[in-house]
């Protein structure tokens, strides 16, 4: 036993030694390997007549796909058109917002201001700079899969709620969406607890009288919400809950947004129970003010940057259909919608981006 | 030379994804019944716990602390529970306890027999150990999403995920405990010609008990550590309050809910530990 032990220890030390030597060697080798890579941007820099070092642009990734796609599109254009390096940093919306204020994050391409109650304060105080609208034709609300209302002969699913159109119609179907944790009650899956919209949905539920027969229950995280919907859809089961567009989920699955009264400013408050559909919210692009001041070219480009929910969904659908990475989808988008973005950039940047695509 | 050649490509995850999809669509009856079973157990547990008046629970904890550790500890635990109540997290605490307890019970029911088997069969031990390593180190969100696909949102996937994380210590320490029962003790017992069951129940297990209890204690602590993670898939309780607080950058609320988790964990830790010490007394 002891001899075997000793052998084991020896072997362990031998391994550690090998690893140590290997690390030391790579450390020596590393600078050599990096040099050729570093040469290219330096060689280009004088030609652009911009001898000073450009800051790296850091995009915030608050965790959903449309934002990732916009990050990749803007990143590609800034990288190839303007010579900026870019990086993406993940985090929750409040953390990213905090990062934009501090300068750890440079840009957030989609600021869903309705979801962050404190945001207007930040904007007023000038700790962040709002550059403009990315898109404003988005939708949100309660969704059900289309097969719940119309059935799906191909999958052998019968319509289980043919008369479900308006949110209020849900009153007739609590048994269709049962809550396993609370027998006798229905379940409306709500958004993550931190989103302001989650509270709005609760108020809406109370207003429509749905809270008597439904638990309107938070889903913890956006990922959990997506998994819940996706599992129900794959199984062909009824599901009702909060979702929003544009997402890959709304691109991939055939969902129906339940109707509500048209948006009305007078109805959109807590006393009135938010008794109308969501106002398409302005999804804006925000930037760290200090960075914006120092880099007018970036500011100008991002101020011009404007897409739409429908266009974003096309990009996301391309990604899902072709099993493409975000970067591939971004390049495809840039190729496909040249007319859209060529007005956002200088003609010089336009040429460079087009050259980089080939 | 430093780059791994790109022409060699392995998409192991795709097979796992296909597998999970296949489970969700083709075998949902199996998982539905597992879910219903766990859920029934959980709801029963919850209704029992919330049926007991709050002062009775505090009383029980006081007496347990006093008997197992001393009056001062008993008073201290009482104070901690009262603080949780005053902070307004009593109901959340009960929810959390029922999820943690369910996960711990499932872990023990699975873990102790597995630990005993691993101690007796070397080959089994060789298979179980890397699996346990994977359970402890695999980032929990990786299996949380499949857990939602299989069990839906809420408490059941929370119990599932908590069990995965909390199971390894009890298996490891049970194996260790049985293996370190002294040779002399076993030889002495064998001279009476016991059946294997007798040897296990009358000699090995009692001897191994203090170490097994340390495993139970560790398992419970691991389960407590998963409270916030399981709230990310919609399980209510203390973790949910922490999650809300984190997302709103509400430091006050985060602290209140966080300290409640700490108090609860301390009480559970000290009590299970001292139960283990009682067994050590017999040695």
pLDDT digits (tens, 9 = 90+) for A228-244: 998 899 888 999 999 98
Instruction: List pLDDT tens digits, range B27-50.
Output: 888 888 888 899 899 888 888 888
Query: How far apart are the C-alpha atoms of A230 and B148, rounded to whole Å?
Result: 10
- Please report the DSSP string for A224-261 in residue order: HHHHHHHHHHHHT----EEEESSSHHHHHS-EEEPB-P
**Residue A196 is assigned to a structural domain of this protein:** yes
Look up residue B194 and give its DSSP letter: -
CATH of the domain at A64: 3.40.190.10
Q: Give A231 to chain B, closest Cα distance, Å.
A: 5
**pLDDT on residue A5:** 62
Query: How far apart are the C-alpha atoms of A321 and A250, rounded to whole Å?
Result: 13
Q: Give B40 to chain A, closest Cα distance, Å.
A: 9
- Please report the DSSP string for A119-172 in residue order: HHHHHHHTSSEEEEEEE----EEEEEEHHHHH-BGGGTB--S-TT--BGGGGGG
Give B-chain residues touching A194 at CB under 8 angstroms: 243-244, 246-248
Burial B73-99 (b: 16+ CB within 10 A, else e): bbebbbebbeebbebebbebbbbbbbb
Query: How far apart are the C-alpha atoms of A78 and A9, rounded to whole Å?
Result: 53
Instruction: Note whether B153 contacts A26, CB cutoff 8 Å.
Output: no
Same domain, A112 and A147: no
**pLDDT on residue A1:** 44
> CA distances (Å), B85 to each of B77, B259, B263, in order?
12, 12, 11
Closest CA to B103 of B192, B201, B229: B229
**Residue A52 is assigned to a structural domain of this protein:** no
Number of domains in chain A: 2
Interface test with chain B among A29, A98, A227, by most B beta carbons within 10 Å: A227
Instruction: Note whether A221 contacts B233, CB cutoff 8 Å.
Output: yes
CATH of the domain at B207: 1.10.3720.10
**pLDDT on residue B234:** 83
Burial class (CB in 10 A: 0-12, 13-18, 19+), A308: middle
Closest CA to A291 of A14, A50, A100: A100
Burial class (CB in 10 A: 0-12, 13-18, 19+), B160: buried
**Residue A35 is assigned to a structural domain of this protein:** no
- Kindly state whether A189 is in contact with chain B, defined as any CB-CB distance less than 8 angstroms: yes
Q: Is the pLDDT of residue B168 over 80?
A: yes
- Kindly state whether B235 is in contact with chain A, defined as any CB-CB distance less than 8 angstroms: yes
Among A94, A221, A231, select the one facing B249 at the smallest CB separation. A94
Q: How confident is the model at residue B147 (pLDDT cuts 50, 70, 90)?
A: confident
Q: Is the pLDDT of residue A286 over 90?
A: yes
Q: How confident is the model at residue B263 (pLDDT cuts 50, 70, 90)?
A: very high
**Residue A193 is assigned to a structural domain of this protein:** yes
Give A-chain residues touching B152 at CB under 8 angstroms: 180, 228, 231
Instruction: Note whether A194 contacts B243, CB cutoff 8 Å.
Output: yes
**pLDDT on residue B90:** 92
Query: How far apart are the C-alpha atoms of A200 and B20, rounded to whole Å?
Result: 34
Contacts of B144 (CB under 8 A, 6+ apart): A224, B157, B161, B229, B232, B233
Q: Is the pLDDT of residue B53 over 50?
A: yes
Q: What would the mean pLDDT of B66-83 be, rounded to a whole number?
A: 92
Among A33, A218, A227, select the one facing B145 at the smallest CB separation. A227
Same domain, A121 and A156: no
Query: How far apart are the C-alpha atoms of B170 and B174, rounded to whole Å?
Result: 6
> Phi, psi (5° rounding) for residue B264?
-60, -45
Closest CA to A180 of B146, B242, B235: B235
Its domain, for residue B121, covers 12-51+88-280
**Residue A19 is assigned to a structural domain of this protein:** no
**pLDDT on residue A35:** 40
CA atoms within 13 A on the CB side of B260: 29
Q: What would the mean pLDDT of B160-168 be, rounded to a whole number?
A: 93
Interface test with chain B among A27, A193, A243, by most B beta carbons within 10 Å: A193
Closest CA to B218 of B259, B276, B258, B260: B276
Q: What would the mean pLDDT of A181-207 be, rounded to a whole number?
A: 88
**Residue B1 is assigned to a structural domain of this protein:** no
- Give the end-to-end CA distance of chain A in Å, rounded to a whole number: 65
**Mean pLDDT over each residue of chain A, to the nearest integer:** 83
Q: Is the pLDDT of residue B108 over 60?
A: yes
Burial class (CB in 10 A: 0-12, 13-18, 19+), A130: middle
**pLDDT on residue A39:** 40
Same domain, A172 and A252: yes
**Residue B35 is assigned to a structural domain of this protein:** yes
By C-alpha distance, the chain A residue nearest B237 is: A220
Instruction: Note whether A194 contacts B36, CB cutoff 8 Å.
Output: no
Number of domains in chain B: 1
Same domain, A227 and A155: yes
Instruction: Note whether A228 contacts B240, CB cutoff 8 Å.
Output: no
CATH of the domain at A240: 3.40.190.100
Contacts of A274 (CB under 8 A, 6+ apart): A200, A203, A204, A207, A267, A268
Same domain, A127 and A167: no
Closest CA to A286 of A140, A126, A66, A136: A126
Same domain, A116 and A188: no
Closest CA to A164 of A141, A148, A184: A148
**Residue B59 is assigned to a structural domain of this protein:** no
Instruction: Note whether A219 contacts B144, CB cutoff 8 Å.
Output: no
Q: How confident is the model at residue B1 (pLDDT cuts 50, 70, 90)?
A: low
Q: Are B58 and B81 in contact (CB under 8 A)?
A: yes
Look up residue A276 and give its DSSP letter: S
Domain final position from A222, A257, A292: A257
Instruction: Note whether A231 contacts B144, CB cutoff 8 Å.
Output: no
Same domain, A177 and A243: yes
**Residue A26 is assigned to a structural domain of this protein:** no
Least confident of A50-54, A231-235, B106-110, B116-120: A50-54
Instruction: Note whether A92 contacts B247, CB cutoff 8 Å.
Output: yes
**Residue A2 is assigned to a structural domain of this protein:** no
Give B-chain residues touching A195 at CB under 8 angstroms: 247
Q: What would the mean pLDDT of B155-169 be, rounded to a whole number?
A: 92
**Residue A307 is assigned to a structural domain of this protein:** yes
Instruction: Note whether B153 contacts A29, CB cutoff 8 Å.
Output: no
Instruction: Note whether B153 contacts A224, CB cutoff 8 Å.
Output: yes
Instruction: Note whether A193 contacts B243, CB cutoff 8 Å.
Output: yes
Q: Is the pLDDT of residue B282 over 70?
A: no
Same domain, A231 and A297: no
Same domain, A117 and A187: no
Contacts of B62 (CB under 8 A, 6+ apart): B74, B75, B77, B78
Query: How far apart are the C-alpha atoms of B229 and A220, rounded to whole Å?
Result: 9
Higher per-residue pLDDT: B106 or B283: B106
Look up residue A96 and give its DSSP letter: H
* B37: three-class secondary structure by DSSP: helix
**pLDDT on residue A10:** 67
Interface test with chain B among A28, A118, A181, by most B beta carbons within 10 Å: A181
- Kindly state whether A320 is in contact with chain B, defined as any CB-CB distance less than 8 angstroms: no
* A63: three-class secondary structure by DSSP: coil
**Residue B240 is assigned to a structural domain of this protein:** yes
CA atoms within 13 A on the CB side of A337: 20
Instruction: List pLDDT tens digits, range A198-230.
Output: 888 999 999 999 999 999 988 888 888 988 998
Its domain, for residue A97, covers 57-136+281-357
**pLDDT on residue B25:** 78
**pLDDT on residue A52:** 56
Give A-chain residues touching B98 at CB under 8 angstroms: none
Closest CA to A83 of A297, A292, A306, A327: A297
In this prediction the ipTM stands at 0.76
Q: Are B175 and B124 in contact (CB under 8 A)?
A: no
By C-alpha distance, the chain B residue nearest A178 is: B152
- Kindly state whether A215 is in contact with chain B, defined as any CB-CB distance less than 8 angstroms: no
**pLDDT on residue A86:** 92
**pLDDT on residue B202:** 82
**% residues pLDDT > 70 (chain A):** 86
**% residues pLDDT > 90 (chain A):** 39
């Amino acid at each position: 036993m002891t001899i075997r032990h000793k052998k084991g220890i020896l072997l362990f030390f031998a391994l550690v030694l090998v690893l140590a030597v290997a690390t030391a060697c790579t450390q020596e080798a590393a600078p050599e390997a990096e040099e050729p890579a570093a040469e290219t941007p330096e060689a280009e820099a004088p030609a652009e007549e911009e001898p000073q070092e450009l800051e790296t642009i850091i995009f915030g990734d608050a965790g959903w796909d449309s934002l990732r796609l916009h990050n990749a599109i803007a990143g590609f254009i800034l990288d190839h058109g303007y010579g900026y390096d870019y990086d993406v940093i993940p985090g929750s919306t409040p953390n990213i917002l905090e990062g934009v204020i501090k300068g750890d994050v440079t840009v957030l391409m989609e600021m869903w201001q309705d979801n962050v109650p404190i945001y207007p304060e930040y904007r007023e105080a000038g700790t962040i700079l709002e550059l403009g609208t990315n898109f404003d034709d988005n939708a949100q609300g309660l969704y059900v899969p289309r097969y719940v209302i119309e059935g799906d002969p191909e999958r052998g699913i019968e319509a289980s709620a043919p008369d479900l159109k308006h949110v209020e119609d849900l009153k007739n179907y609590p048994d269709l969406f049962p809550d396993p944790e609370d027998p006798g009650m229905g379940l409306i899956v709500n958004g993550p607890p931190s989103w302001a919209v989650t509270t709005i949905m609760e108020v809406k539920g109370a207003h429509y009288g749905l809270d008597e027969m439904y638990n309107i229950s938070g889903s913890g995280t956006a990922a959990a919400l997506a998994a819940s919907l996706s599992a129900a859809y794959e199984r062909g089961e009824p599901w009702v809950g909060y979702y929003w567009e544009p997402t890959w989920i709304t691109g991939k699955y055939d969902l129906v947004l339940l109707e509500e009264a048209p948006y009305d400013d007078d109805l959109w408050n807590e006393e009135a129970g938010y008794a109308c559909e969501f106002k398409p919210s302005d999804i804006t692009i925000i930037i760290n003010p200090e960075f914006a001041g120092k880099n007018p070219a970036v500011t100008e480009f991002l101020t011009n940057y404007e897409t739409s929910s429908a266009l974003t969904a096309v990009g996301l659908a391309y990604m899902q259909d072709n099993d493409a990475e975000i970067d591939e989808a971004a390049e495809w988008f840039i190729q496909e919608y040249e007319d859209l973005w060529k007005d956002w950039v200088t003609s010089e940047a336009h040429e460079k981006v087009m050259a980089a695509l080939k | 030379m430093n780059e791994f050649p790109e022409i060699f490509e392995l998409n192991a995850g795709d097979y796992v994804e296909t597998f999970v999809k296949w489970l969700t669509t083709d075998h949902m009856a199996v998982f539905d019944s597992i879910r219903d079973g766990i859920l029934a157990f959980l709801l029963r547990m919850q209704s029992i716990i919330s049926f007991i008046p709050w002062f009775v629970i505090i009383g029980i904890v006081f007496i347990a602390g006093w008997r197992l550790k001393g009056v001062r500890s008993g008073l201290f635990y009482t104070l901690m529970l009262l603080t949780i109540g005053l902070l307004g997290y009593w109901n959340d605490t009960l929810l959390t306890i029922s999820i943690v307890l369910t996960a711990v019970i499932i872990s023990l029911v699975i873990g102790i027999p597995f630990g005993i088997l691993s101690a007796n069969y070397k080959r089994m031990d060789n298979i179980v150990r890397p699996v346990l390593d994977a359970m402890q180190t695999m980032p929990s969100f990786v299996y949380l999403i499949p857990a939602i696909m299989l069990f839906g949102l809420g408490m059941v996937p929370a119990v599932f995920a908590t069990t995965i994380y909390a199971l390894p210590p009890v298996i490891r320490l049970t194996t260790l405990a049985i293996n370190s029962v002294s040779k002399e003790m076993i030889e002495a017992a064998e001279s009476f010609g016991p059946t294997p069951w007798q040897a296990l129940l009358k000699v090995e297990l009692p001897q191994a008990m203090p170490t097994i209890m340390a495993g139970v204690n560790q398992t419970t602590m691991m389960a407590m550590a998963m409270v916030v993670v399981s709230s990310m898939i919609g399980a209510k309780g203390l973790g949910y309050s922490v999650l809300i607080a984190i997302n709103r950058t509400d430091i006050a609320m985060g602290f209140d809910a966080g300290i409640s988790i700490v108090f609860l964990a301390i009480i559970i830790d000290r009590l299970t530990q001292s139960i283990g010490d009682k067994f050590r007394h017999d040695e």
